[in-house]
Structure 1
Amino acid sequence: MHYDFDFGIVKDVHKRNKIFNENGKSRGNIRILYFTGYISNFRAQTINMVDGKKVVTKIDKGQVFTEKIDKWRKAMVFTFPDIKPGSVIEYEFNHMTQMLTLPAWFFQEDIPVRYSELITKVPTDHYYRQQARLRQPLVKNTSSTESLTGNVNRMPTTLDVSTRALANVPSLPYEPFMSSQLDNFQSIYFILSGFRQTNNSSLGAVNDTWAKIGGTLADEEDFGRQLKKSLLNEQVLIAKAATLKTDDQKIAYLFNEVKGQMKWNRNDSWYTNDGVVKAWEKKIGNATEINLVLYNLLHKAGITAYPMVVSTRDHGKVYPSYTFIHQFNRGVVYIPVDSTRSYVLDASNKYNLYNQVPDNLLNSSGLYIDKENNAYDI
C-alpha cells in the first residue's frame, strides 16, 4: 500500500491459491468489496498442469462484473474458469482511493496461509498509529526510506517503507458462538493521527477524538442532516402517539409501526444511501435509514432520543482507542430512560423488541450524537 502523486492511497494486491480437492473449488468464486475509488490493472488466471505442461486460462474483462452496493461501496465479482483439484488460481489488481487512512491488512484467513506480506510506503510527514493483532512472530520486519518523485507539480516526498510478513499462518474458520472473525484474524490496523504542516513547525490534526468524529457525523449530509426531515403522512402516526399516556407506550407504538411498515434491504452502513424521506416513501432501506426514520418520529412525538452508530457482531468489536468511523456499520436510536435504564432501538429486524438490546449488538459500544448540547460520547 502506498500513496500516489496526488496523495491518494493505492492498494496493490497479488493473491494466489492452490486448489487441493473438490471442496476447494468454491474458492474460485471471488467477490472483492471496496469503498470508493476504482480498480485498475486487473489480471486473473487459472493454471493447470496437463500432461506435464502448464496450461494457463486467463479471465477476460467481460467475465468481470461490478456490483453497486450503495453510493459509496462496490464489489468486483468474477469466477475462475476450468478449476479442478490441483489448479492454481491467481489474481492481482490496484485499488485507488482518496480515503485518508490506510486500510487494515489481514494476514490470516479461514484457510491456511503459506505466506502473506504487507509493504507500506507512507510520507514521513504523515503520522500513523498502528494496532498489530499478531499471535506469531513476523518472519520479515524491515524498514527503509525512498523518495516519491515524478510529478513536476509537487516537491519530492520522502517515504517510510515498511515490510512485514507472516508465514505458515493457520486457518481460523468460523465456529459457533465465536465473535467476528475480523476480531480474531491476525492483522494490522492503521489510523492517521496527524500530519506535519508544510512549514514543518506544527502538527495538523485529523479526527483523532470521538468528539470530533461525532461532530463530523452531526453535520454529515448522509447522517446528521437526516435528523430533521418531514416524512410522508407523519402527522397520522404522531397524532396517534400523542393519545398514549406514557413515553413507553409512545416508544413501543412508533417502534412497531416503523418495524412493521419498513423492510430492511440487507445492507449495513453507518450512513444513509437514499435518505430517510425516500426510504420511508418506498418502505425499504438500509438499517440506518430505517432507524433514522424512527428517530424522526420519536423526536417529533416529544421523546428524548439520540441517534447512535454501532457495530454489529459480525462486523467486529469497537476499539475505543482506534478513532475511526468505519468501525461502525449501523445507525440505531438511543433513549436514556432514567438513571438505571436505557433503550437501544433497532427497527430493521422484525424480531427485535423496543426494550431489549438486539443480540447482535450485545457486548459492543456505540457513539451517540447530541448536537444540541454538543455532546458526543462512546
Structure 2
Amino acid sequence: MPNVKEGSVIEFSYRVQSVFFFNLRDWTFQQTIPVLWSEYTTIIPEYFHYKKLAQGYERFLVSEEKPMNVNLGAGISSSSGTEYHWVLKDVPAIRREPYMTSINNYVSKIEFELGSFTVPGQVYETYNNSWGKVCSNLMTSERFGTQLSRTGFVKETIAPLISNAKEPEKQMAAIYEYVKDNITYNNREHLYAENNLRKVLDTKAGSSAEINLLLIAMLKEAGLEANPVILSTRENGYVGSTSFPNISKFDYVIGHVKIGEKEYLLDATEPLALPNILPVKCLNGQGLLVNTQEARWVSLVPGAKASHTYQSFLTIGSDNSLKGKIETTSDGYTALRYRK
C-alpha cells in the first residue's frame, strides 16, 4: 500500500451475504486500543423482530431508531422497516485484569437474536421468547434433545456396568467412569452434537457436546433422572440477564442427575474429574437445566473448594533442631490439579 507511514489511518469496507438471519452480526464498539469513533447502523424489515442487548459501561453518543421503507431487492416489493443507529465516541481501551473471567463480560457491544418472524398471509412464528421456549426448541432439535429420546443403542453397553450396582449413586458413578475412560475428547467445544450418539459410542471419540449428551443418554437408559444443563464457558462470557432469553449466549453442555434430594453435575470430558467437580472453564455463574417439564437455573458454584492442608509432627532436639514429618492433603480443585 503506497504512502503508508506510522500514524496513517486505513479505511476499508466489506460486504457479508448470509442466509442465516437468526443472528444479526454483533457489533463491538470497544477494543483493546482506544477507539475514536465506532458506529453501527442496521435496517430491519417489518417481518423480523430482533431482541437487542446492549452491554458495557460507555454511554452512547447516538442511540436512535426511525421508521423507513426497505427495498427487499429486484422484483420484490418494498416494505416498512426500522433503521437503528448507535454511535460511541472516544472509547477508552479495555484491558484484561487479574481475576477477570472474560473480557467479553465488560466490553461495550450490542447483540441481536431473532425473537419473531412473520410474512403476510402466513403463520406468525416466535423464537426463544421464554426460557421454556428455549428448552422446547433444544429438546426437539435433532442435534440435541431428540438424540436423548433414542437411547436403546446403549442398552448392551450399560448392562454389565450396573448389573452389580443396585444403588442409583453407584449406577451413576459406574456409567460416568465408563464414559470418561472410554470416550476420547477431541478438544472441540460445542453446544450441539455434530454426529449421532451411536457413532460417538462406536468410534469412542467426540466433542464436548457429544460426550456429555452420550453420558446423559446412558444415564437415562439406566433409569436415572438425567438431563442436560447448558452454560456459557468463562471465555465466552456471562449468560447475562435471565430475563432476556437468548440461546446464543450458551456454548457448552454438561450432565445433571437428581437422586432423591441430591443433585450432581457431570462433565465426562475430564478423565480425572469427579461428580460436582467441573472443569474450571465451566465455573461461570449458573446454567440452564433443560428438560420437557421446566426451565430451571442451577448454580455452577462448586461445592468443593480448592484446599491444601499441611499437618506437621515435629520434635525439638537438644541442639534446637527440628525432626519429624509433614503431611499434606489436597481436596477439591487442588486435588484435581495434582491428579493431572
**TM-score, structure 1 as length reference:** 0.69
> How far did residue 281 of structure 1 move?
1.8
Could you tell me which of 20, 24, 41 is aligned with 1:98? 20
Measured in 2, the distance between the counterparts of 1:235 and 1:314 equals 38
- Give the 3-state SS of the residue equivalent to 2:14 in structure 1: strand
Q: Could you tell me which residue of structure 1 aligns to residue 191 of structure 2? A: 270
Measured in 1, the distance between the counterparts of 2:210 and 2:125 equals 34
CA contact under 8 A between 2:47 and 2:118: conserved in structure 1? Answer: yes
Larger Rg: 2
Q: Could you tell me which residue of structure 2 aligns to residue 295 of structure 1? A: 216
Q: CA RMSD in A?
A: 2.9
User: Quick one: structure 1 residues 102 and 321, their matched pair in 2 at CA, closer, same or farther if it must change by over 3 Å?
Assistant: farther
Could you tell me which of 352, 357, 360 is aligned with 2:281? 360
Could you tell me which of 104, 128, 132 is aligned with 1:182? 104
CA contact under 8 A between 1:128 and 1:190: conserved in structure 2? Answer: yes
258-267 vs 99-108, which moves further: 99-108
User: Quick one: structure 1 residues 167 and 337, their matched pair in 2 at CA, closer, same or farther if it must change by over 3 Å?
Assistant: same
Measured in 2, the distance between the counterparts of 1:171 and 1:309 equals 32
Amino acid paired to 1:108: Q
Number of residue pairs aligned between Structure 1 and Structure 2: 295
Could you tell me which of 58, 63, 80 is aligned with 1:136? 58
User: Quick one: structure 1 residues 86 and 360, their matched pair in 2 at CA, closer, same or farther if it must change by over 3 Å?
Assistant: same
CA contact under 8 A between 2:169 and 2:259: conserved in structure 1? Answer: no
The answer to whether structure 1 residue 159 and structure 2 residue 159 are counterparts is no
> How far did residue 86 of structure 1 move?
7.2
CA contact under 8 A between 2:27 and 2:109: conserved in structure 1? Answer: yes
Higher normalized strand content (fraction of residues): 1
> How far did residue 273 of structure 1 move?
0.5
CA contact under 8 A between 2:209 and 2:254: conserved in structure 1? Answer: yes
> How far did residue 334 of structure 1 move?
0.7
- Give the 3-state SS of the residue equivalent to 1:314 in structure 2: coil
The answer to whether structure 1 residue 327 and structure 2 residue 246 are counterparts is no
**Structure 1: runs of 5+ lacking an equivalent:** 1-46, 56-83
Could you tell me which of 174, 184, 200 is aligned with 1:279? 200
CA contact under 8 A between 1:254 and 1:298: conserved in structure 2? Answer: yes
Measured in 1, the distance between the counterparts of 2:21 and 2:185 equals 28
> How far did residue 368 of structure 1 move?
2.4
User: Quick one: structure 1 residues 240 and 101, their matched pair in 2 at CA, closer, same or farther if it must change by over 3 Å?
Assistant: closer
**Structure 2: runs of 5+ lacking an equivalent:** 298-340
Q: Could you tell me which residue of structure 1 aligns to residue 296 of structure 2? A: 377
State the Cα deviation string for residues 207-263 of structure 1 (Å, max 9, x = none).
Answer: 20111121111111101121123447x524432222124222221221121112122
Q: Could you tell me which residue of structure 2 aligns to residue 207 of structure 1? A: 128
Q: Sequence identity, in percent?
A: 24
**TM-score, structure 2 as length reference:** 0.76
Measured in 1, the distance between the counterparts of 2:222 and 2:236 equals 32
